[in-house]
Structure 1
Amino acid sequence: MSDPVLGLEGASLSFGDVTVLDDASVALDGGTFVALVGPNGSGKTTTLELFAGLRALDAGTVTRPTGTGRTVAYLPQSPRFRPGFTAREVVEFYGSLIGNDVDADALLARVGLSGAADRRVDDLSGGMTRLLGLAQALIGDPPVVVLDEPTSGLDPDVADHIFEAAAAMAADGRLVLTTSHDLDAVSRYTDRVLLIANGAFVLDGSPAALLEQTAEKSLRDVFSATVAGTGREAVTVDLDDGGEA
């Protein structure tokens, strides 16, 4: 594994009586597709925003890649683009904002949108809009890409395509961190799963290792059993390569 490129150390954040993180720590490696899962209201989106630098911690530290270029790309759950632009123009526009000359057609091809390069964003389907967001996230070749529920509300075939595109981004050496309620897709495509609940990362490991460790039949069963039975007790398992989760 490569050195960690993103992490939290002793991280705490609360909103009034609601605790998102309570002295939580985790380190995430490059070249890895990581899913952050958890019950509704557990703070998944807020945690992504902390990683992306969109929120500040009450206490603790966030580690992000260093460099002069774009280091973390963040794609919200419902990306919006300038009306009237074509998909190609969107990519070119965002490239100009960060001072990069981009090959818009090549980026669109990488996410499967070659055939929609001249289609206006107003006419794109929900799945195509998410894929355009993935293309936009690749501008500047950031080492970290953060995706908030990129397949929410999409049909299974389109969702699989988006997971495949995200996995390919990780295979290129990036850290791709996503939230998702689609635990079947998480099990098939991701390298590592973090379960957040009650202010802590209570489960951490590869999908295969979690199933082996817990003797459950599916990641959904692992999720349900962990949320119901462990509370703040961490479930830590060995990753497939033998390293510590």
Structure 2
Amino acid sequence: MSDPVLEFEDASFSFGEVTILDDASLALDGGTFVALVGANGSGKTTALELLAGLRPLDAGTVTRPTTAGRTVAYLPQSPRFRPGFTVREVVEFYGSLVEGEVDTDAILARVGLGGAADRRVDELSGGMARLLGLAQALIGDPPVVVLDEPTSGLDPDIADHIFEAAAAMAADDRLVLTTSHDLEAVSRYADRVVLIANGEFVLDGSPAALLEQAGEERLRDVFSAAVAGRGREAVDIDAPTDGGGK
């Protein structure tokens, strides 16, 4: 079995008196599409930032790929691009920052933006901007792609398209890690789901395995029961995010 490509070991992090991680461990493998879920305020976004290297841990270790070139791509919930650029110019600009040639047309076609290459970024819908963020994440062929709520606020059709694109990225032997409140989409597309609550990763497995073990039909019920069983009132895990994500 190959080593994990992204890993927490005995990781701890707090904002003042608010604990995000408490001696938590998690190992994630390449070639998998992993969804990190939890209630608002559970620490999903912060956990992503810690894994991606955007914040340092208070204690413990995080292990990331050590290959040459771009190793971790991070897409925030609301990606921003230089005003006035076209979609093609955005990809070409980021492509100029990595070694090797970047096939702009192939990357745009892969995320479904092949017909929008000459559209300016300030004319893009919210969904198209997220797709451009996925295209940017593919530049340099990083082994890890981290997505923070990539479908938040989008209509179901474009949300499904983004999940499909993310799953296809993972099929290329890449780890794709996302946060999401859309548990129906998570059930359909994710290979593995991890629930964060009370500073710990309290459930971890494939959607089918978690449902079978709990004897439930919906992931929402599985996760609410798990949180309540750890001494907290059951929460609405798939409620819309408030944008804080902390």
Report the TM-score when normalising by structure 1: 0.93
**Unpaired runs of at least 5, structure 1:** 233-245
Aligned counterparts of 2:109 and 2:59: Cα–Cα separation in 1: 42
Cross-structure match for 1:73: 73
Cross-structure match for 2:227: 227
Q: Secondary structure at the match of 1:97?
A: coil
**Unpaired runs of at least 5, structure 2:** 233-246
Shift of 1:68: 2.0
Cross-structure match for 1:59: 59
Is the contact between residue 202 and residue 231 of structure 1 (CA under 8 Å) also seen in structure 2?
Answer: no
Count of residues in Structure 1 that have an aligned counterpart in Structure 2: 232
Shift of 1:75: 0.3
Is the contact between residue 69 and residue 99 of structure 2 (CA under 8 Å) also seen in structure 1?
Answer: no
Q: Secondary structure at the match of 2:57?
A: coil
Aligned counterparts of 1:50 and 1:163: Cα–Cα separation in 2: 23
1:180 correspondence with 2:180: yes
Shift of 1:100: 3.9
Is the contact between residue 94 and residue 136 of structure 2 (CA under 8 Å) also seen in structure 1?
Answer: yes
Is the contact between residue 2 and residue 31 of structure 1 (CA under 8 Å) also seen in structure 2?
Answer: no
User: Of the two structures, which has the highest relative contact order with CA contacts closer than 8 Å and spacing of 6 or more?
Assistant: 2
Cross-structure match for 1:239: none
After superposition, where does 1:153-232 map in structure 2 within 5 Å?
Answer: 153-231=153-231
Shift of 1:230: 2.8
Matched residues, percent identical? 85
Is the contact between residue 108 and residue 114 of structure 1 (CA under 8 Å) also seen in structure 2?
Answer: yes
Aligned counterparts of 1:181 and 1:19: Cα–Cα separation in 2: 21
Aligned counterparts of 1:200 and 1:231: Cα–Cα separation in 2: 13
Report the TM-score when normalising by structure 2: 0.92
Supply the RMSD in Å over aligned alpha carbons.
1.1
After superposition, where does 1:101-180 map in structure 2 within 5 Å?
Answer: 101-180=101-180
Q: Deviations over 1:34-90 (max 9, x none)?
A: 000011101100000011000000100001000220000000000000011111110
Runs of 4+ in 1 over 6 A off after TM superposition: none
Q: Deviations over 1:168-194 (max 9, x none)?
A: 000011000000000000010000000
Q: Secondary structure at the match of 2:56?
A: coil
